[in-house]
Amino acid sequence: MAKNHLTGQTRRQFIQTSFTAAAGLTMVPAFLQAGNVSIPAEPLRRRFGKIDFDVTTLGLGGQASIQWTPAGIDPVAIILKAHQLGINYYDTSNYYGPSQMNYGKAFRQLGLAPGQSNYDAEKRKAIFITSKTGLRFGKGGDDRKSVHGGTNGTAGSKAIDDVRRTLTQVFGDGAGNIPEAAYLDMVLIHTLNNMGEVDALYEGYDHPDPNATTIGALAALRDVRDGTNRTGLNPKNEKLIRHIGFSGHKDAAVMIEMIQRDTENLLDGMLVAINANDKHFFNMQYNVIPVAAAKNIGIIAMKVFADGAMYTKKAEWSNTPAHVVLQVSSPELPAKKLIHYSLTTPGIHTAIIGIGQISDDPQQCQLTQNMIDAQVMPTDLSASDRKAIEDLAAQSKGGKTNYFQNPYQELMAPREAKVTVEKGEKALVTWHTAYAGDAAIDHYEIWRDGVKVENIAFTPQTSKTPHTFTDKFGKTTPKQYVVKVVDKMDRVAETIPLLA
């Protein structure tokens, strides 16, 4: 039976156990009754990868009504209610219009903003606030606006400028002043789309040169994480952030490249689109998520409802209040099933969901219902349970809800395969990871002159070092090798013959 990470209890024991209320004075059951609704008094948490933090399984997304606020909705009240419910992971971005300012208003009320008379440093440590930059450079380069709309700050701004902009909006006066002791728990380099962006981000990563014309965002962000000035862009040696990560909606291959090039383990977090229609596209769950998990990166799920496209919204980028979905769920496609799918995808630690509206009636409140639905253990769904949810989700827009994701690709052959033969002794076969289709990869096979010589269990490729196999073939020099990949449905893709 599955166990709660924090307590080591079984799930049944967890539900039956009492927890101390927020005030620390009263013992209450794990779930509080509000009418016919059981609200978790102490939400489930998971260890956030290699980050020393236990994150609630539901995080508050920074878009929806916090960014595009419909008439009659108070975005600050949404944030306050999330904190009241015990959510400890908060998401925003320099892309998201007024989102950061709305967090600032809420955080000042909650005593989370340094410099305010009600500031509580311990209370601040108990939450995790992540913002994002869409800028690829710390210095020089050509940064442009996001497809999401919104702004990246003032003209000519760079990655550290975005950090400062977030800090003043979330913890300061919004006009440039940053209170002493203000920090961000993490900054994500947002929405990677192509390999050229990865190249830009890694400029100066190994050996930053303050005199260089261009420096990538990674090197710049590392300086304000570590309090160093290797780039020349942090002359006061400030420590403004705790962790660095990245996000992606579109291309799992680009995201894999981002992880593999991180030889210094700089990346602590990854925000990734993952929902029950993932397999209709170039999927994340069998490609990049296992790579991130193998490096113990904290993984945040987004687009659980495909940005509302699972329900009433068209499958297109949101950019107005009219795009914000206000309904709680639907009988045809219960939100609970979609949330459970994302949170039981192996490797996922938390899911951020944007909130359209809240209500004093728990049954009509998106936030409360999502919080209840997020009380799920990583292993609570079987493979058949997940397949049933996939079949249900496929009925929404024919499964084509994920407009943000690259088109479906079948199982692809191992890439960049090579063979080097030392005559009379051995052959070295190398290859880079194959990409999965709609099933996980099971193993690789090495074939020599039409005969299989080895099965190799699949492991995620976490660096640019290729997979290798050494074949000691004896006296007869082989003529050719083939590397095959086999998925969990016994489908095969293979390289062209590699001449020995």
Q: Transcribe 3-62 into DSSP letters.
A: B-TTT--BHHHHHHSEEE-TTSS-EEESEEEETTEEEESS--EEE-TTSS-EEESEEE-S
Q: How deeply is 496 buried, as exposed, middle or buried, from its count of CB atoms within 10 A (0-12, 13-18, 19+)?
A: exposed
pLDDT in tens, 45-56: 999 999 999 999
* CATH number corresponding to 415-499: 2.60.40.10
Q: Provide the pLDDT for residue 33.
A: 65
Q: Distance (Å, rounded) from C-alpha 213 to C-alpha 226? A: 23
Q: Distance (Å, rounded) from C-alpha 477 to C-alpha 371? A: 63
SS3 262: coil
Q: Residue 488: CB partners within 8 Å, gap ≥ 6?
A: 439, 440, 441, 442
Residue with tokens 């059951």: 29
Q: Provide the pLDDT for residue 30.
A: 58
Helices (H) and strands (E) in the chain, counts: 12, 24
Location of each CATH 3.20.20.100 domain in the chain: 43-399
> Other C-beta atoms within 10 Å of 151: how many?
15
In the predicted model, residues of the chain with pLDDT beneath 50 are: 1-29, 145-155
* CATH number corresponding to 43-399: 3.20.20.100
Location of each CATH 2.60.40.10 domain in the chain: 415-499
CB half-sphere exposure, 356, CA atoms < 13 A: 20
In 3D space, the residue among 136, 140, 135, 137 whose CA is nearest the CA of residue 212 turns out to be 140
Handedness of CA 361, 366, 371, 374 (dihedral sign): positive
Which amino acid, residue 132?
K
Which amino acid, residue 64?
A
Q: Distance (Å, rounded) from C-alpha 491 to C-alpha 477? A: 30
Q: How far apart are the first and last CA of the chain?
A: 51
State pTM to two decimals: 0.92
SS3 422: strand
